[in-house]
Amino acid sequence: MYCEKCGTKLGDGVQFCQSCGTSVASTTSSATAVEYFAITPTRLILFSILTMNLYELYWFYRNWDAVKRAEGSNIQPFWRAWFSIFFAYDLFKRVVRSAKESGYMGSASAGWLAAAYIVLYVVGNAWGSMDAASTGTDPLTYLLWFMVSICIVPLPLLPIQSAINQHNSKVAPAKPLTKTFTGWEVAIIVGGIIFMALIIIGSLLE
């Protein structure tokens, strides 16, 4: 079990965090009560790639909204999602703590995963904002690296999503992961494929 306020690992039978003095009872009740955004890792990667990583903003929003509803706090999920690189560590830490309190035995590190996400996000967006001429590469090489940058940005989210799904299986066992696609998800898939095809065709024509 971990302290909600400072993240310090708590010993068995303690009533207050030895580092910051937070009540263990309040830490346990608020952390374990959160039902985070449940989605399969495959679906997370698919939608992230097809939306050129915009789906990750939705992913962060849904998880921060879950935290807000569970804690009754006044945080702003939209802005925490929009500035995800500044709040990624806080969310990852909450998820890992909640999952471990629910019996998660994985080795996901909130700190390392947040650092990896921030670096990949910044590098990926920097590369995506440039064109082939400004990078000094031919169009096909640029396209290759552009696609790679899109694919690797959401990778640090996968261990966090696995922790979320295991935690949710204990918090809300009656809500299995959805394996079918809704209408708007089908629209995202079709639109994303068309958009990616246009990018590829445009690069080949160059």
Question: For the segment 9-23, what is each residue's pLDDT rounded down to a tens digit?
Answer: 666 555 556 666 565
As a whole number of angstroms, the distance between CA 170 and CA 35 comes to 10
Every domain of the chain and the residues it spans = 1-32, 37-205
Question: Which region holds residue 75: left if phi is over 0, alpha if psi is between -120 and 50, else beta?
Answer: beta
Signed CA dihedral, 123, 127, 128, 130: sign only: positive
Closest among 74, 97, 111 to 17, alpha carbons compared: 97
At 53-111, the pLDDT tens digits run 889 999 999 999 999 988 888 899 999 999 999 999 999 999 999 888 888 888 889 99
Q: Are 20 and 3 in contact (CB under 8 A)?
A: yes
Closest among 60, 1, 62 to 30, alpha carbons compared: 1
Please give the share of the chain, as a percent, with pLDDT higher than 90.
33
Instruction: Give the 3-state DSSP-derived string for 78-113, with helices as H, strands as E and coil as C.
Output: HHHHHCHHHHHHHHHHHHHHHHHHCCCCCCCCHHHH
What's the length of the chain? Answer: 206
